[in-house]
Amino acid sequence: MEILQYLNVYSGKNKQRPIKDNLKNVIYEIPCSCNDTCIGKNGIKLATRIKEHKDSTRLMKTQNSAIAEHATSTGHRINWEKTRIIDTDKFWKTRNIKESFHISNINPSLNRNSRLESLFASRLNTLRP
Ligand SMILES: [Zn+2]
């Protein structure tokens, strides 16, 4: 399925909710009530990943979720229902690169700044003998 079709599904032009909720290998954007957003990626079902973020936020488990950390520290309300798919890639390496690209392009303060550094650090590690 082309990205435009994904976006159409997501924006409601095509009400195929199960497709959206079961999407794997996507890069998504979750908006906050302060108009900032959090960008993430998943190799598992999108609905499952969002549930993890929601659980982390509810339980204030901030170590695995930048959005939980933001909601916990600011008291802002996360607009889960406005989660948007901004890209898709079935290969995790290029998905990581695309995620980093979107983070540096949109530059949301919710994303931890260390993402790009950690991406390149992990790339360097794979290149080492
Ligand atoms: Zn906020």
Q: Is the pLDDT of residue 100 over 60?
A: yes
The whole-angstrom separation of Cα 98 and Cα 88 is 8
93 pLDDT band (50/70/90 cuts)?
very high
CA of 29 to the centre of ligand 1 (A): 13
CA of 26 to the centre of ligand 1 (A): 22
Q: What is the mean pLDDT of residues 88-113?
A: 87
**What are 75's two structure tokens?**
């008291």
**What are 105's two structure tokens?**
């392009």
Q: Return the pLDDT at 121.
A: 53
The whole-angstrom separation of Cα 27 and Cα 106 is 13
- State the greatest distance between any 2 C-alpha atoms of the chain, in Å, as a whole number: 49
> What CA–CA distances, in Å, run from 53 to 10, 71, 99, 127?
19, 11, 17, 32
- For the whole prediction, is pTM greater than 0.85? no
CA of 39 to the centre of ligand 1 (A): 13
Q: Is the pLDDT of residue 17 over 80?
A: no
CA of 72 to the centre of ligand 1 (A): 10
Mean of the per-residue pLDDT values for the chain? 79
pLDDT, tens digit (0-9, with 9 covering 90-100), for 54-78: 999 999 998 888 899 999 999 999 9
